[in-house]
Amino acid sequence: MRKLFEIGGVAAAAILIAFGIAAIVMGIDGRSTVSDNLKQEQITGTPDMTPQAVAAEAKQAKLPAGVKLPTCNVAGKAITSGAEARCFGSYVRIHTLEGTGGLVYAQMGRFQAKPGTPAGATDGLGGTNDDKHAVVDPQTHQPVANPRRGIWTTSLALQTALNVSYMADRLSLFGVVVGVALLLAGIGFAILAVGGALRNRDTALGFLHKHGSGTGEATA
């Protein structure tokens, strides 16, 4: 039974080490892929992508006080990592809010409101959800879509892509951490298995032992 435990311990150690190395390699490759894909898009932060500049812009645009402003800085920087992509996306959100008067997608009316539409039937910025108050396209005879909503649609697509890059980067980093943990666990298993075997001459791993000719060897 002791021999079986020793062989099992070494086998478990080998599997953990193999999985650990694989996880580390995959994690590093994942982060490299994220970085390469971001570089291909050639995204560079605009000069106003600093906490001070965006705060001044938000104040000038009279954005609601509850809007969370970015605290990171990517002004003039090439976006090549997940963290930078997330930071850039947070500035994109503020720029979008500035262009929509502080309204998010769900707060804006679906249609462009007619001139003279009662304020209670609008979103306060020329949009309405009531097709009776919507501008009608003379060719299609359908309500005209709110153009501000189109800004949010484009913005959300970009923000989602940037945040997915960040998530992929974090998951890759997590994979590296897990790989290191598995590698260390495997090494620990190997030390315990081989170390225990070295104290016993009658073991399945006898080829690892240094058999001495003297007396006094400890036996298990």
- Give, rounded to a whole angstrom, the gap between the first and last alpha carbons of the chain: 14
Q: How far is CA 135 from CA 108, 116, 195, in A?
A: 15, 11, 82
Determine the Cα–Cα distance for residues 214 and 220; give it in Å rounded to an integer: 17
Please list, in sequence order, all residues whose beta carbon lies within 8 angstroms of the beta carbon of residue 160, skipping any fewer than 6 positions away.
Answer: none
Q: pLDDT tens digits for 1-27?
A: 667 777 788 888 899 999 999 999 999
The predicted model scores a pTM of 0.78
Q: Please report which confidence band the pLDDT of residue 144 belongs to, taking 50, 70 and 90 as the band edges.
A: very high
pLDDT in tens, 93-139: 999 999 888 999 989 999 999 998 898 899 888 899 998 999 999 99
Q: What angle do CA 29, 76, 162 make, to 5 degrees?
A: 45
Instruction: Reduce the DSSP state of residue 104 to 3 states and report it.
Output: coil
Nearest 5°: CA angle at 13, between 178 and 183?
25
The three-state (H, E, C) secondary structure of 166-203, written as one string: HHHHHHHHHHHHHHHHHHHHHHHHHHHHHHHHHCCCCC
Least confident stretch, 29-43, 63-77, 182-196, 199-213: 199-213
